[in-house]
Amino acid sequence: STIEFTGALHSTIVKQVRLRNPSNNTLAYNAVIVGRDADDFSLPKGNTVSILPTRQGFLNVEFTIRFLHPAEAVLILISNKVDGIDGVTLAFSLKSEVKNIEPLGMIKCRSPCYEL
């Protein structure tokens, strides 16, 4: 599954990953981000999530678009044993795309175009 971060250059985008637990046992996951641009992505609310039985949990992933080129990384969720139960390891592809560029400011200047 792919999570896309699209927006303006220099904007910060937060995506929420929803995890469902259909079992009758509590599940816990540790999240890690790996890949070429992993340093540009972060987990602002921490890298662990616990999901109660038959409930859902959420994990926030944050990205600030700093460059024009697309950023790529992988979010890996590794299960921790809770009550002797292990969940399946999950992986999500993280990709970014710049949709528009808005200037941070404007500078007016006068200069001759050509001088001998």
Residue 105 lies in a domain: no
Q: How many domains does the chain have?
A: 1
- What CA–CA distances, in Å, run from 70 to 54, 56, 74? 37, 31, 14
- What CA–CA distances, in Å, run from 83 to 15, 17, 25, 38? 30, 24, 7, 32
Residue 109 lies in a domain: no
CATH of the domain at 51: 2.60.40.10
24 vs 58, higher pLDDT: 58
Residue 114 lies in a domain: no
End-to-end CA distance of the chain: 61
Residue 40 lies in a domain: yes
Per-residue pLDDT tens digits for 62-110: 999 989 999 999 999 998 877 777 788 999 999 999 998 887 788 998 8
Residue 115 has pLDDT above 80, yes or no: no
pLDDT of residue 111: 84
Q: How far apart are CA 30 and CA 89, in angstroms?
A: 10
Residue 112 lies in a domain: no
Residue 18 has pLDDT above 90, yes or no: yes
DSSP character for 71? P
Does this model's pTM top 0.85? My answer is no
Per-residue pLDDT tens digits for 26-74: 889 999 999 999 999 999 999 999 999 899 999 999 999 989 999 999 9
Domain residues for the domain of 52 are 2-100
- What CA–CA distances, in Å, run from 112 to 37, 106, 116? 42, 19, 11
pLDDT of residue 105: 83
pLDDT of residue 47: 92
CA nearest to 90, candidates 57, 52, 44, 114: 57
Residue 106 lies in a domain: no
